[in-house]
Amino acid sequence: MARNQEHSDAMYARAREVIAGGVSSDARRLPGTPIYVDHASGSRLWDVDGNGYIDYVLGQGPAILGHSPDVLAEAVSAQMRRGVTYSAQHLAEIEVAERMRSMVPCAELIRFNSVGSEAAHAAIRLARGHTGRAKILKFEGHYHGWFDPVLFSVHPPLDQAGPADHPVLVPGSGGQQQNQAADLVLAPWNDLQAFTDAVARHRGEIAAVVMEPVLCNSGAITPDDAYLAAVRQICDDEGILLIFDEVITGFRLAPGGAQERLGITPDIGVFGKAMAGGMQVSALAGKAEVMESIASGKVSHAGTFNSHPVAMAGARAVLEVLDEKREDIYPEMERRGRRLMNGIAAIASRLGVPMLVQGTGHLFQIYLTDAADVRDYREFATTDRSTMTRLHGLLLDEGINMVPRGLWFLSSAHTDADVDQTLTAFETALARLR
């Protein structure tokens, strides 16, 4: 059944008069009218037309405790009465850094930013400044922020992307200059031989290898067994820093992020989203020897809103819960997520719809494909993404909100009753799609 969107349609028309494209981030573009949220609480949100949704977008992942949890609201409200911004130091930034150091394997020293793109950019500058080398090796399909020097070959058209084992750098936006990719090296992910060959071609020139340790911007792909360990060893042998972009996976896959779950410690980690439960905080964390290049002033790192007091109060409160209640939160989130994954796969099989479901439970991806596995961007790109967009719309009609490309996030606020309702709605939507 189609949703009532009268007020949303009117707001969208009004927004297009004053906001370029009607939305403030390209990630929020939809084929039709986007959701205009009135309020959100726990696992649910409601739009301005009164439609309710079980929410698996969670602000693109940050709302790991659900929407508007009391612990976050109380911490932020209390700090608002003490001051909004200081451009000075305060206790909360120390306490958040101490908490991060106790949770995250690579976090010996930390610096804070506001958004993930800033922290990723800082990590790359730090790697170049620390090593004295210029080149950065990134992987096809991985996203490290929207800034020009790294927005290459995130989702390139396959007819422009070059050979699978030796891909070419494709700008992600008009306005980017191709010469900004002069110091980027591109490799396919999850292909150890191709990675080894790329490093050999640029021996002595690469400052850092940067990756999403679980690829979430092109599916929900966990690396092959032993792949990360081999990459870690090659980086050590070649004097290359290893950067994990954990803006999505940090504090979501485990209290210490993907590096804890997968057992590989990078030299530098980039964090955001879940670390503050929805407040705008990101972090650059790394081994002391590397971070000393910032501490000494050799590498510049600045920002008016770094360690923003209100946002840091939120991070302090959320990380305390995630750390001290880890044995309750993470196993239950994974259990419910896997129950949902298994239920979706069973429904698709029963209806005869080719579908693959991959992920950890804390987050997962559904693909419309006959393939038995998706291991990298190119395999993701060959799945039926246009029909996935249609499925997204049908799920919205049934009161289920997922990321349009097929990614789902779980929170500690989701319940077994939510899973039951979601599976019933999913079967209805998939039957309509078929």
Active-site residue, selected from the candidate residues 12, 53, 56, 143: 143
In 3D space, the residue among 322, 338, 227, 345 whose CA is nearest the CA of residue 271 turns out to be 322
The amino acid sitting at 105 is P
Q: Is 325 labeled as catalytic in the residue annotation?
A: no
193 half-sphere exposure, CB direction, 13 A CA radius: 2
| CA quadruple 130, 135, 137, 142: dihedral, nearest 10 | 90
Residue 263: both structure tokens together: 């057992």
Rounded to whole angstroms, the Cα distance separating 417 from 318 reads 25
Q: 105 φ, ψ to 5°?
A: -55, -40
Rounded to whole angstroms, the Cα distance separating 225 from 346 reads 26
Cβ distance 64 to 310 under 8 Å? no
Q: Would you mind telling me the total number of residues written for the chain in this entry?
A: 434
Three-state SS at 245: strand
Whole-number CA gyration radius for the chain: 21
Q: Is 245 labeled as catalytic in the residue annotation?
A: yes
Distance of CA 424 to the CA centre of its chain: 28
Residue 425: both structure tokens together: 């709605």
Active-site residue, selected from the candidate residues 56, 273, 330, 377: 273
**Helix (H), strand (E) at residue 381:** helix 377-381
The Cα-based distances of 296 to 126, 127, 293, 429 in angstroms read: 12, 14, 5, 57
Active-site residue, selected from the candidate residues 47, 55, 191, 245: 245
Which strands form 44-47's sheet, in the order they lie side by side? Answer: 37-41, 44-47, 52-55, 400-401
Rounded to whole angstroms, the Cα distance separating 232 from 211 reads 12
Q: Is 118 exposed, middle or buried (0-12, 13-18, 19+ CB in 10 A)?
A: buried
Residue 195: both structure tokens together: 């990675």
Q: Is 86 labeled as catalytic in the residue annotation?
A: no
In 3D space, the residue among 401, 250, 266 whose CA is nearest the CA of residue 318 turns out to be 250
Q: Which residues are catalytic?
A: 143, 245, 273
